[in-house]
Structure 1
Amino acid sequence: TYPLDVLGAQTEGMIGYMIEQELGNLLPFERPFATLLTMVEVDARDPAFGNPTKFIGPVYSKEAADRLAAEKGWVVKPDGDKWRRVVASPEPKRIFQLRPIKWLVEHNTIVIAAGGGGIPAAYGQGADHHKLAGIECVIDKDLATELLARELGADMYVMLTDAPAVYVDWGKPGQRAIRRASPDALSAMTFAAGSMGPKVEAACRFVRSTGKRAAIGELADLGRILAGEAGTTIAADTKGIVYA
């Protein structure tokens, strides 16, 4: 069994390879593209390590979960009527491969990076404070890509998902899609922690820190999202919430 940082690197490479195949079919010989294994720094003293919340892996019965927790030193928590392992989800602090990513972007390359939130790494404490090593956690993918977009100086930060927009009362008869919102107005609303919540938080962070726009919407609507005709755009100059 490999540690989570190694599994993260394995997954980044595998998914990057699959995306590159699709890009090769869509853009044959038109633009170069590359997948970078992306290490993301976290702080080993982040409070998230004291309260792991990120579910990973398969589900177990209570007895099996307790046995694995004792054997492997895991933290387990109930997930519905089953039990699963939970790990910390600390704040991303730095993208280690930022310079090669910038170089590739400046040379017209489509870069696939920070997949799954990146490969978590942390510096040691005391005498090992210069030593970097992988650490058992999962970094939120939206917060990691927001950091990447901000440090790259991106003109706009777009999160493409399977939802057409950010919705109020999602899944209820009166659900309404938000077309535009200010970061303050959107932050005052509540969204599901396991799905839209992190995306809303990441979008608001980007807008507040850069003054630029962020957007959330469906992959097929990318062109219309960029034009402000689909999805949800978060911008500092928007007043309150504007519904579609």
Structure 2
Amino acid sequence: MIVAPDRRPLTRDFFDRPVLDVAPELLGRTLVRRTPQGPIELRITEVEAYNGSSDPGSHAYRGRTARNASMFGPPGHAYVYFIYGMWFSLNLVCNKEDTASGVLLRAGEVLTGTEQAAERRPKARNTRELAKGPARLATALDIDRSLDGTDICSTDPDQPLTVLHGHPAKAAEVLNGPRTGISGEGAVHPWRFWIDGDPTVSPYRAHVPRKRRSRAA
């Protein structure tokens, strides 16, 4: 018998815990993005944990800024940032206020709103690629800085972002390893979590230093 996914929003208490407890338990949950064109629902298949001021890989490592202020807020809110001057990424804030912990949503399977997501991701070769990577996920779901600070635990039916209980992944299905593209001390932490064998999970890429352009003599 197929059991329908649980449609209740995750509570504040779910996110008000250490980020390394929250991150793997987000796998299999349902992210809902409500847009003027209709809702898009996504099953979360890959995440990364960032542990605030104690984590060299975190945006909060050097303290609060205008850019990362939402990370220092209460749990259960969105932190959206702009990267490389081109892409947005979505994080979910965890733990106590001022700890600045968060989970980056790296990939997922689009369940509903596929046509809408595909219009935003015309280069995707198939539905598996629509949200295969954090920038692709944000693009497919029309996520930008206007959603920074959104309360994802709200029961308001018009709230633009919500995370539902869904079908949480079983512990035996979850793998973990180093985070993608992190350099220095933060590269050793095995804080990337994904559902084993899921085709929407993005490929792992180690950090590659950017080459500086040589100046003409």
Instruction: Name the TM-score class by shorter chain.
Output: under 0.3
Highest RCO, 1 vs 2 (Cα 8 Å, sep ≥ 6): 2
Question: Which TM-score applies when normalising by structure 1?
Answer: 0.23
Whichever structure has more helix as a proportion of its residues is: 1
Question: Which TM-score applies when normalising by structure 2?
Answer: 0.25
